[in-house]
Amino acid sequence: MNLKESFEKIKSNDFVVEIYGLGYVGFPLAVRLSKNGFKVIGIDVNTERIERLQNNQLMDSELLLKNEFLESRERGLLELDDKSNTDSNPKIGIICVPTPIPTETTSSDIFVKSAVESFLKYSKKGDAIILESSIEVGTTEKIEKIIESRGYSIGNDFGLCFCPERIDPQNKEWGIENIPRVIYCSDDISFEIAEKIYQNVNNGNLIRVEKPKIAEVVKSFENAFRLVNISLVNELAILCDKLGISVKQVIDAAATKPFGFLPHYPGAGAGGHCIPKDPRFLLESAKKMNQQFITIENALEINLKMPIYITDKIEQILEQKGLEKSVLVCGLSYKPNIEDMRDSSSFKLIKEMKNRGFEIFGYDPFFNIDYVEKYLEENKITELDFERLNDLDYERIKNISCMCIVQHHLVDKEKIMSIYEKSVLPCIYDCQTKLGKNKQSRTELYYLGE
């Protein structure tokens, strides 16, 4: 069967979608496609995750899709497995597995290659692969060679696309259903197949590019843009600290310019799975071309420096006030209003403080004790170096010297304001400059960048 013949069957929905990796990208994609009537098999090598989903047990970050997930399961449109299987109908494999930062011993495409090999084990002529994982430049061409080594002809009897994921968890304006997507396709038929699938994801809003390396650089550059701007504003915050002025007022005033300026605000450092990692793929490409990418190198360095700088400031404040080095780090997730602790700056800050002899307490309303092992792995740590608090009870926290707010969550907004207004703690250090000052409070409020 060639791709043209496959496409005729796909137009009649006589095909199967296998989604590899059921994390923050693959899970919502599997639910959306199965909800819209496609036969989907969600595949993950994490057998505990598969067992959990087979038992209809969802994590906090998955609960928004609970009804659609259960409906798809009941209709038999969403199956879950830890491996691929044979099927007489055309199969489309969508690869959504994580990609690690490349090291001397681990390549960034290790999981992507493994997923592709798993799909190819049971593939046939007329099938296609769509890569969604963030990948290093040149990876799509490597995958093409792997496919061709199995006797397939790319663009004739086997399709290959790269459509890098774009997802922002909990973003109410831009979701999987309306975010435009960039895509590279090996041929026109593969593009038509992709359009058929993504018509049920984001209404087929696909921007096709000519070469796979273009799409690969696009993905890394998008996150490099964020990293560089976040690092720029964090370095500006350090300067404003020393100048004795408010970085927030500087940025707010600059944002009145109606063109040529996009406001970013400071914090303890960029976290998550994308911004600290994807720009490194451009660094790797630059090294292979005997080039430096100094802007990204400096941005990464500044990002890592922020927990050190914040620890310096809090340590200085407590010494000046003669207070013990005890800190409550509040807001452990990498972004607001979500249970997502991946590569969070909070854990880097805690590690830095712990190394300096601080007594550390940690609190986040979304922290789930059942996911501790996941948090440890996501932050490359072996244990929680802090005493975890279940709530912000006044009596429990009143003997702590300082609350360091790394991430603000709406669910805690009133409680934190009350702690400040009632002067429960001697000091509060707000890394995001969101807590409004109250002259009646005896608690000293400090901002990053002021």
Enumerate the active-site residues: 274
Pairing mode of beta strands 159-162, 181-185:
antiparallel
* CB burial of residue 349 (10 Å; 0-12, 13-18, 19+): buried
Question: Cβ distance 343 to 378 under 8 Å?
Answer: yes
Distance, CA of 163 to CA of 219 (rounded, Å): 9
User: What tokens does 115 get?
Assistant: 């997923």
User: Measured between alpha carbons, how far is residue 137 from residues 144, 282, 285, 286, 301 in Å?
Assistant: 13, 7, 7, 10, 22
Pairing mode of beta strands 159-162, 128-131:
parallel
Question: Cβ distance 406 to 334 under 8 Å?
Answer: no
In the beta sheet, which residues pair with residue 129? 93, 160
Which residue carries 């100048």 as its tokens?
243
